Copies of this chain bind each other. A is one copy, B any other.
């Protein structure tokens, strides 16, 4: 199974309004609610790819209860029982580069730690006239030292059964800035490959603990290294401690600087759409490919095809499966010469 950690989960609400007019009153014409926070988004894509996933992190209060009910509703019904086989595993790798199209969605197990505070809400107000989104993000709950200790205990237990782990998103109030470094070290001690996807000081501290992978975007990379030149910034990030750095270049694809080589992967064409969740889909692509034993080029193809198919999806954060399967063989991969490494 793949473990995802989301310390600052969120109940994500999307409100459609005919037009957003500041200082006016609006009747919300369409609304949707879904469990959010980056690690939960990653889990949803992993599930769609047929990977059993366990999610941990914090949830609390009435919003936490609502989030967990929605999360339970995401998991597929299982006529074969919980032990029925689900899609690709580490010993059952599909043909490299092939889309796991035939696999059924795999279950997502809720291993969240209950906290006293209220899980935050995020509200995306979509203006149906312009298509633009205005975002309102509540602060997360204050997490106590005891709650953090409970999370650490739960995490250690879960690592024992994990093939890989993703540490995702921002830290809620009360969690020390070196929290991800602590979680990276535990994963490395347990021998579980660990991907860190965060930003700012938690990223800086986390990298020093030597995660297997980080997946920064251009802004996060510039904040970390001071450089906006992708190759220079990515190499700098590796020197800071990350074994592999997969830099997201937005519509231009990804640059991967790894111990095994350097690759650039690009979608066949630029696409227009909503980039929300594209980075989380890329994380799911990278981790599933790692667990399936895919080569770096095939992992990158999957990550780029999944994130492009997420931009193309009409629902923010979901990926368009038909677009994914169509894009997968068409992602361009360029290997940099060893001298360039």
CA gap between A65 and B66 in the complex, in Å:
10
Q: Does A150 contact B (CB under 8 A)?
A: no
Contact A26 B133 (CB under 8 A): no
Choose among B24, B31, B61, B134 the residue that contacts A138 (Cβ–Cβ < 8 A).
B31
Q: Does A27 contact B (CB under 8 A)?
A: yes
* Nearest chain B CB to A29 CB, angstrom units: 8
Contact A137 B27 (CB under 8 A): yes
Contact A125 B136 (CB under 8 A): yes
Q: Identify the stretch in A15-23, A191-199, A245-253 within 8 Å (CB) of chain B at 4 or more residues.
A: A15-23
CA gap between A15 and B25 in the complex, in Å:
14
For A25, what are the chain B residues with a Cβ–Cβ distance below 8 Å? 134-135, 137
Contact A26 B62 (CB under 8 A): no
Contact A136 B62 (CB under 8 A): no
Choose among B20, B62, B66, B137 the residue that contacts A22 (Cβ–Cβ < 8 A).
B20
A54-78 interface (Cβ within 8 A of B): 61-63, 65-66, 69
CA gap between A130 and B22 in the complex, in Å:
11
Chain B's closest residue to A70 (CB) is B62
CA gap between A26 and B136 in the complex, in Å:
5
Q: Does A132 contact B (CB under 8 A)?
A: yes
Contact A138 B15 (CB under 8 A): yes
Given A62-B66, A66-B62, A123-B123: A136 touches B22 (CB 8 Å cut-off): no
Q: Does A12 contact B (CB under 8 A)?
A: no
Q: Does A269 contact B (CB under 8 A)?
A: no
* Nearest chain B CB to A66 CB, angstrom units: 4
Given A28-B139, A62-B65: A134 touches B23 (CB 8 Å cut-off): yes
Contact B27 A139 (CB under 8 A): yes
Given A62-B65, A66-B62: A136 touches B24 (CB 8 Å cut-off): no
For A138, what are the chain B residues with a Cβ–Cβ distance below 8 Å? 15, 28, 31
Contact B23 A136 (CB under 8 A): no
Q: Does A127 contact B (CB under 8 A)?
A: yes
Contact B137 A26 (CB under 8 A): yes
For A28, what are the chain B residues with a Cβ–Cβ distance below 8 Å? 136-139
Given A22-B22, A66-B62, A69-B62: A15 touches B136 (CB 8 Å cut-off): yes
For A20, what are the chain B residues with a Cβ–Cβ distance below 8 Å? 22, 134
CA gap between A135 and B22 in the complex, in Å:
9
Provide a sorted-by-A list of 8 A–B residue pairs whose CB atoms are within 8 angstroms: A22-B22, A22-B134, A23-B132, A25-B137, A26-B136, A28-B136, A31-B139, A65-B65
The 8 closest A-B pairs by CB, nearest first: A62-B66, A25-B135, A23-B132, A28-B138, A26-B136, A62-B62, A22-B134, A20-B22
A interface with B by C-beta (< 8 Å): 15, 17, 20-28, 31, 61-63, 65-66, 69, 123, 125, 127, 130, 132-139
